Amino acid sequence: MVTVEAAPQSPPPLSAPLDIGFDYTRSLGPVLSRFMTGLSERRIEGVRGSDGRVHVPPVEFDPATAAPLSEFVEVGTEGTVLSWSWCAEPVAGQPIQRPFAWALVRLDGADTAILHAVDVAAPEQIRTGARVRVRWADEPVGHIRDIAYFLPVDAADGDAPTPPPPPVAPRGDGDPLTTIVTPIALNYTHTASPEDSRYLRALDEGRLVGQRCPTCEQVYIPPRSACPVDGVPTTTEVELPDTGVVTTFCIVNVPFLGQRITPPYVAAYVLLDGADIPFLHLVLGCDAADVRMGMRVRASWRPRDEWNTTLGNISHFEPSGEPDAPFESFARHL
C-alpha cells in the first residue's frame, strides 16, 4: 500500500465587514430652504412651474423653460399611490425596520409624486390608487425624514419611533433653514483575493509581500492577481524591505471632520525598494516643508500587540537619513 499525503491547503481568503460613512453637507438655496423649513413646521410646499403643474418636492428650475421658480404652493398631507414596490427585508437606515412598501405618492394639490415609505403589514394592503396620509416624525427638524412614513388614510397612527435627527445648521426661531447635514453610509462585506489575503497575512507578521509578473518582471505591492501590463497571472511572491523613496506627495493643510492628524502633514506615494508601483501612506517625523521627491524613508511600525491584517500596522513612513535617490531612479514610477 502506498500512502500519498494530501497537499497542504491554502487558508481561505480573508473577509471583513467594511463600513464607509461621511456626513454630506448641503447648502439648500431658497427653494429647498423653504421646503425643509416647512417640513420642520409639519407643512408641505411645492412650487408651480410655467405650465401650471405643482412640483413636490419643489424643483429650483422649470423643467420646461429652465427658468428659476419661486411661486410656492402648499399641498395636502394626504395623497394617492401611483406605483409601489414591496420591501420584505429592510436594511439599516431605511424609514421602517419591518416589511413595508416603497411608493410614489402624489399629494393632493400636487402634480408630481414623492418617493417615500408606506407602513403596511403585507403587500395585499397596498395597491395603485390607494389613499395614504403623512405620519409625521415626533420631533421634526427640517429634513425629509420629518415625514416618518405614509399610512393608509383609515389606519391608526401606531407607534412611530422618532428617527435620529440629522444635524442641521443652527437657526433662530422663525429663521429659514439654510443647510442640512445628511449622514451617508455604505456597509458591506469585502472578500480579499488569494494574493491580497497572503499580503494581508504577511502584514500581520511584519512583512511586506508583493507579486512579480513572469513576463515583464514588474513587482506589484499591494499585489495584483494579474499584471496590468501583460495580462498574465502574477505567479511569484516577492518579499520587500520596509524602506523606499517618496515619488510624489501632497501637503495637507485643510482641516476636515474626523481628521486624526493636525495639519500640516504629508500624504505621499512611497515606492518600496524592489517594487515597481508606489502606494499611498503618511510621511511624518519631519516638518512637512522638508518632504521632497526622492527622499529616502523607512516604515515606522506600530507596537507588535497592535498588529492586524492591515497596512495600518505601519503608522507612517519617516526619513531614513540616507541620501536622496536620483530622479532617474524613480522617474518611470510617478
DSSP secondary structure, 224-263, as one string: -SB-TTT--B--EEEEE-SEEEEEEEEEE----TT--SPS
Q: What is the pLDDT of residue 174?
A: 66
Q: Is the pLDDT of residue 331 over 90?
A: yes
DSSP 305-319: GG--SSGGGEEEEEE
Q: What is the mean pLDDT of residues 291-312?
A: 96
The 10s digit of each residue's pLDDT in 23-71 is 888 899 999 999 999 999 999 999 999 999 999 999 999 999 999 999 9
Q: Residue 314 and residue 316: Cα distance in Å, rounded?
A: 5
Write phi, then psi, for 207 (nearest 5 degrees). -120, 150
CA-nearest of 58, 69, 54 to 33 is 58
For residue 280, what are the β-bridge partners?
269
Tell me if 243 sits within 8 A of 320, measured CB to CB.
yes
| Planar angle of CA 253, 257, 260, nearest 5 degrees | 70
Q: Sheet holding 236-240: strands in order across?
A: 219-220, 208-212, 236-240
pLDDT category of residue 92 using cuts at 50, 70 and 90 = confident
pTM: 0.67
Q: What is the pLDDT of residues 159-197, one digit of tens each?
A: 655 555 554 555 555 678 888 888 888 888 999 999 999
Q: Give the DSSP H/E element, type plus range, for residue 100.
A: strand 100-107
pLDDT the model gives residue 232: 94
Confidence of residue 219 (pLDDT cuts 50, 70, 90): very high
Q: Over the chain, what is the mean pLDDT?
A: 91
Which tens digit of pLDDT belongs to each residue from 239-291? 999 999 999 999 999 998 778 899 999 999 999 999 999 999 999 999 999 99
- Three-state DSSP at 31 gives helix
Does the structure show a pLDDT above 50 at 138? yes
C-alpha cell at 229: 501590463
* 3 state DSSP class of 288: helix
Residue 297 has pLDDT above 80, yes or no: yes
155's grid cell = 389606519
Contact indicator for 100, 89 with CB cutoff of 8 Å? no
Q: What is the pLDDT of residue 91?
A: 87
Contact of 162 with 139, CB cutoff 8 Å: yes
Give pLDDT, residue 3.
Answer: 43
CA distances from 310 to 49, 201, 233, 242 (A): 54, 8, 24, 15
CA angle 332, 252, 25 (to 5 degrees): 120
Q: Strand pairing partners for 244?
A: 272, 297
Residue 23's pLDDT is 84
Q: Given this model, what pLDDT does residue 7 score?
A: 41
User: Is pLDDT above 90 for 217?
Assistant: yes
Domain boundaries of the chain, sorted by first residue: 18-185, 192-240, 242-334
Contacts of 205 (CB under 8 A, 6+ apart): none
